[in-house]
């Protein structure tokens, strides 16, 4: 692996799942002697830029413009960049766009191009999905493998994108386990007056904070007072603030914004709640909460079910249902012994399956780097 170079492609440097995975991969691969170069298709947001800069990683951006001309331009610019930096492999986190990246990279002599698949194929979008599927099909001759973040996503990718199973591989996303296991598990943290719930996720439409906020309102109406921390930033912040105010929860629900002290925050929670939609692909924050030993309530969608090993590592409730989520929260708070047992099983599962080293090794195999 020493002396080899890999190009990682991101849509942007927003503080969310894929850029965080890229930071972890880059850091691990650098320790193994691999040279990492980064390409961003958008110059904003730049939340995680400092994390890459501290590693000394070169960051390139493309000006693609608008309209159909973007696609051949992306191929041409990818070809030129790969001719200049000579990577052995390209890992693209954007899916769909990877087709044009792959064409340019392979024309420049790159041996392997892989693309990450982190979400359920959006078949419900109709004509938009038809275009998306066409892009995936265009990329097939130039793409070595589609790397899916779970078996749930892999099965949907084969089915809905109409690719062969051999063109895909499931590789779990990872979290930096050392950061989340260095602190005492959450049940041993300093107690606080009200049960403290938390969710870590971008404030975007593909998450489901509104259902969680609704559940907190129902709990209040039932005489169960809790405190909720929503950790993350995104375009839905104004709408969530309005919902919190409308439900009279300004004293109970805090929007903490994007934070860099997630392990410390998790150690202060009594319960981690992951309110997700069916298109959730994995949920890195869910794995982080497992590693931190926090009891978990999550919505019963495919990715959460797989990550939590059914209900062995966390309580699962119906998705998009504030009443079901409120009842799940009540149940966990009322039975702390069962919650601790599930949290211990979750911590053990996270340590065995969600390490950065295991993810980086599997990615390296597919990219021809190991």
Query: What is the predicted pLDDT for the residue at 281?
Result: 83
Domain boundaries, the chain: 5-174+355-366, 177-353
Among candidate residues 329, 29, 307, the one with its CA nearest the CA of residue 195 = 329
Scan for tokens 């709990």, then name that residue: 219
Dihedral of CA 235/237/240/241: which sign? negative
User: Fold identical between 5-174+355-366 and 177-353?
Assistant: yes
What class has domain 177-353? alpha beta
- For 272, the 3-state DSSP assignment is strand
What percent of the chain shows pLDDT beyond 70?
96
- For 267, the 3-state DSSP assignment is coil
* pLDDT tens readout for residues 292-343: 999 999 999 988 999 999 999 999 999 999 999 999 999 999 999 999 999 9
Give the list of residues 6+ apart from residue 325 with CB closer than 8 angstroms, or none.
211, 212, 214, 215, 273, 275, 297, 299, 317
Give the integer Cα–Cα distance in Å for 47 and 62: 18
**Phi, psi dihedral angles at 297 (to 5 degrees):** -120, 130
Query: What is the predicted pLDDT for the residue at 123?
Result: 93
CB neighbours of residue 121 within 10 Å: 20
pTM: 0.82
- b/e burial code for range 262-298 (CB count within 10 A of at least 16 → b): bbebbbebbbbbbbbbbbbbbbbbbbbbbbbbbbbbb
Task: Decide if domain 5-174+355-366 falls under CATH 3.40.50.1820.
Answer: no
* Burial of residue 46, with CB atoms counted within 10 A of its CB: 0-12 exposed, 13-18 middle, 19 or more buried: middle
* 5 bridge partner residues: 35
* pLDDT tens readout for residues 46-83: 889 999 999 999 999 998 988 999 999 999 999 999 99
Provide the token pair at 177. 């386990």
* pLDDT tens readout for residues 94-150: 999 999 999 999 999 999 999 999 989 999 999 999 999 999 999 999 999 999 999
The answer to whether residues 207 and 299 touch, using CB atoms and an 8 Å cutoff, is no
* pLDDT tens readout for residues 80-94: 999 999 999 999 999
């Amino acid at each position: 692996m020493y002396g080899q170079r890999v190009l990682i492609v991101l849509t942007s440097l927003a503080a969310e799942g894929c850029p965080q995975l890229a930071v972890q991969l880059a850091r691990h691969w650098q320790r193994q002697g691999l040279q990492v170069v980064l390409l961003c298709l958008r110059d904003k947001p730049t939340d995680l830029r400092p994390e890459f800069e501290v590693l000394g990683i070169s960051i390139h951006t493309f000006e693609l413009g608008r309209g159909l001309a973007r696609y051949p331009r992306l191929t041409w610019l990818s070809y030129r960049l790969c001719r200049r930096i000579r990577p052995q492999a390209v890992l693209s986190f954007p899916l769909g766009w990877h087709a044009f990246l792959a064409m340019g990279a392979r024309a420049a002599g790159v041996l392997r191009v892989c693309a990450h698949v982190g979400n359920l194929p959006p078949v419900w979008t109709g004509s938009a999905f038809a275009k998306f599927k066409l892009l995936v099909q265009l990329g097939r001759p130039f793409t070595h493998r589609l790397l899916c973040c779970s078996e749930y996503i892999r099965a949907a990718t084969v089915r809905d994108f109409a690719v062969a199973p051999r063109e895909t591989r499931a590789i779990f996303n990872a979290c930096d386990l050392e950061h989340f296991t260095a602190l005492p598990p959450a049940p041993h943290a300093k107690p606080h007056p009200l049960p403290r719930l938390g969710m870590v996720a971008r404030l975007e439409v593909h998450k489901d904070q509104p259902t969680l906020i609704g559940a907190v309102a129902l709990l209040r109406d039932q005489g169960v007072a809790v405190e909720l921390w929503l950790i993350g930033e995104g375009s839905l912040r104004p709408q969530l603030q309005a919902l919190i105010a409308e439900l009279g929860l300004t004293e109970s629900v805090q929007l903490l914004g994007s934070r860099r002290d997630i392990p410390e925050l998790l150690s202060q929670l009594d319960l981690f709640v992951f309110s997700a939609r069916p298109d959730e692909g994995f949920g890195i924050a869910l794995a982080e909460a497992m590693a931190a030993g926090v009891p978990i309530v999550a919505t019963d969608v495919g990715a959460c079910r797989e990550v939590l090993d059914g209900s062995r590592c966390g309580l699962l409730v119906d998705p998009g249902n504030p009443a079901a989520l409120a009842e799940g929260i009540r149940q966990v708070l009322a039975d702390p012994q069962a919650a601790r047992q599930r949290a211990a099983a979750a911590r053990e599962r996270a340590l065995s399956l969600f390490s950065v080293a295991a993810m980086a090794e599997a990615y390296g195999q597919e990219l021809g780097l190991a």
